Amino acid sequence: MVDLLSRKSDCTKKEAEAFLKEFFTLATEILSSGESLKINGLGVFKPVWVEKRNSVNVQTGQPCEIPGHYKLSFTPDKSMRDAVNAPFACFEAEIIADDVDIKDTEIFDMAAEDSDMTETNIDDSSTEMETVVMSLDKETSDIVIADIPDERQNVKDEIQPENNQLPNEMNISDTTNQKESKDENTEHKLPAEVYDAQTAPEEKIKEPEEKEHIEVISVSVVDNYEKEEFRRKQTWRNRKNFWYGFVTSLLIFVVADLIWLCYNGTFEEGQVTISSWIPAIIKNQNQEGEKNKDSVSVVKALVTDSLKTTEVVRKDTATLENKPITNMNEKSNKVPEKEINNDTMLSEKTVTEIMKPGIFLTTLSLKHFGHKTFWVYIYQENKANIANPNSVPVGTKLIIPEKSKYNIDSNNRESVEKAKALATKILSEYE
């Protein structure tokens, strides 16, 4: 402190030290005596009397009384306060219209959880089905096979893709060490398997001849194979199902967050990151889709026609999952495109500003007019280019109007009040 001061004010260290010592000892003396002290440019120090109150000892839980005492309060000066708060100066207290805002987010969370629940339910039901099938199969393996061809067929269908999928998954995780890709992959497989289990019996009813043909193979292959692999697979299944639930819930939360950001996009940075994220995700998914197709083709070679339907189902799910995301991508891309088109039409005679991340209409107003409420006039001047004054995309060119055009005067109270009234009017349209 002494060093800094002596360097700053070009005086000897001795002088600086003497000054500081006196300054703060005097301050302590004044404050200790119970008087308040005001220092211009710093703030007001004030000893405040705190009444006695009852409290509870945190450790023992016993009630105790805190006696009345003095507390030193410090209120920074306006200049000091503004200087410290400079990074957040552009924000202003905002009135929330109804309880819309908070409940919206809460409802969204609930919805996300609900969809999560249904997802896991599907998962559970699929496991139940499988266990039922397994048990049925075990009981009747030696007796009448013809009575329950559907179940047997079903089991065989499920087991063989599984065999292929398991090593496949291992390979993928080895080659691409990215966790995400694996997650996406497993997610694709989950619905596919569910569909597999459900559609397989239906198909067999339609084609009884084919059923018999495959039955013969299934009896010979599956009976030996099954008993050895049965236990291992069940443990694998349990683990896998747990991970499926976990992964899907994670993905749903991520997607929900992205949508929320898009919807609420007050920050330009958010939009930029989203639009750059989405293509990456789609790429990932496309890759996974291809991998799935590969695995399916291998399976197909082994299991013959009965799995054709599963391939179709898999493709369907892959495209289904890609669709909503591509839609979202289109939406987020459309807005910046419009802006670029409009930019070329702008004349550049007057003062212009280009929006950058971290810069708001209010900051521009503060810079050019000396008060942040005058952002409304910047907005009015550029109404054609700004879809929503709450979020102006990065890179938008803005014309800064002349002060005289709107009677802008940061020292004139009426002018400020007028701008504020206009601001509430404009903002009410976007709520």
Burial of 65 (0-12, 13-18, 19+ CB in 10 A): exposed
Whose Cβ is closer to another protein: residue 34's or residue 370's?
34
296's CB contacts (< 8 A; 6+ apart) are 307, 310, 311, 314
Q: How far is the CB of 299 from another protein (least distance, A)?
A: 53
Q: How far is the CB of 334 from another protein (least distance, A)?
A: 29
Q: Are 155 and 137 in contact (CB under 8 A)?
A: yes
Q: Are 355 and 393 in contact (CB under 8 A)?
A: yes
DSSP 8-class letter at 405: G
Q: Residue 174: how many CB atoms within 10 A of its CB?
A: 8
**Positions in 99-128 near another protein (CB under 8 A):** 99, 101-102
Q: Are 397 and 346 in contact (CB under 8 A)?
A: yes
Identified binder of another protein from the candidate list 13, 14, 25, 128, rule CB under 8 A: 25
Q: Which helix (H) or strand (E) holds 421?
A: helix 413-429
Q: Residue 48: how many CB atoms within 10 A of its CB?
A: 10
* Site for another protein contains 28 (CB under 8 A): yes
- Between CA 366 and CA 79 the distance in angstroms is 16
Whose Cβ is closer to another protein: residue 71's or residue 231's?
71
Among 17-25, 133-141, 146-154, 178-186, the segment contacting another protein (CB under 8 A): 17-25
339's CB contacts (< 8 A; 6+ apart) are 385, 393, 395, 396
Token pair in block for residue 295: 């695995």
Token pair in block for residue 349: 């005679």
Q: CA Rg, the chain, in Å?
A: 35
Identified binder of another protein from the candidate list 56, 64, 66, 83, rule CB under 8 A: 83
Whose Cβ is closer to another protein: residue 61's or residue 67's?
67
Helix (H, G, I), strand (E, B) or coil at 353: strand
Whose Cβ is closer to another protein: residue 61's or residue 87's?
87
**Positions in 39-58 near another protein (CB under 8 A):** 39-43, 45, 47, 49
* Site for another protein contains 84 (CB under 8 A): yes
Q: Residue 132: how many CB atoms within 10 A of its CB?
A: 11
* Site for another protein contains 246 (CB under 8 A): no
* Site for another protein contains 302 (CB under 8 A): no
Whose Cβ is closer to another protein: residue 49's or residue 263's?
49
Whose Cβ is closer to another protein: residue 63's or residue 87's?
87
Q: Are 94 and 424 in contact (CB under 8 A)?
A: no
Q: How far is the CB of 364 from another protein (least distance, A)?
A: 18
- Between CA 255 and CA 259 the distance in angstroms is 6
Q: Are 285 and 322 in contact (CB under 8 A)?
A: yes
Identified binder of another protein from the candidate list 13, 56, 66, 68, rule CB under 8 A: 68
Whose Cβ is closer to another protein: residue 16's or residue 376's?
16
Among 63-71, 162-170, 189-197, 287-295, the segment contacting another protein (CB under 8 A): 63-71
* Site for another protein contains 94 (CB under 8 A): yes
* Site for another protein contains 375 (CB under 8 A): no
Q: How far is the CB of 162 from another protein (least distance, A)?
A: 49
Whose Cβ is closer to another protein: residue 12's or residue 411's?
12
Identified binder of another protein from the candidate list 58, 93, 143, 205, rule CB under 8 A: 93
* Site for another protein contains 389 (CB under 8 A): no
Q: How far is the CB of 405 from another protein (least distance, A)?
A: 29
Q: Residue 268: how many CB atoms within 10 A of its CB?
A: 21
Q: Are 37 and 44 in contact (CB under 8 A)?
A: yes
- The terminus-to-terminus CA distance of the chain in angstroms comes to 50
* Site for another protein contains 5 (CB under 8 A): yes
Among 62-70, 108-116, 164-172, 198-206, the segment contacting another protein (CB under 8 A): 62-70
Number of residues lying near another protein (CB under 8 A): 59
Q: How far is the CB of 238 from another protein (least distance, A)?
A: 42
Q: How far is the CB of 196 from another protein (least distance, A)?
A: 49
385, β-bridge pairs: none
Whose Cβ is closer to another protein: residue 44's or residue 129's?
44
Token pair in block for residue 27: 């301050």
Among 85-93, 113-121, 149-157, 333-341, the segment contacting another protein (CB under 8 A): 85-93
Quick one: three-class SS letters along 165-211? HHHHHHHHHHHCCCHHHHHHHHHHHHHHHHHHHHHHHHHHHHCHHHH
Which residues here bind another protein, judged by CB under 8 A?
Answer: 1, 4-5, 8-9, 11, 15-16, 18-20, 22-28, 30-32, 34-43, 45, 47, 49, 67-72, 74, 76, 80-81, 83-88, 91-96, 99, 101-102
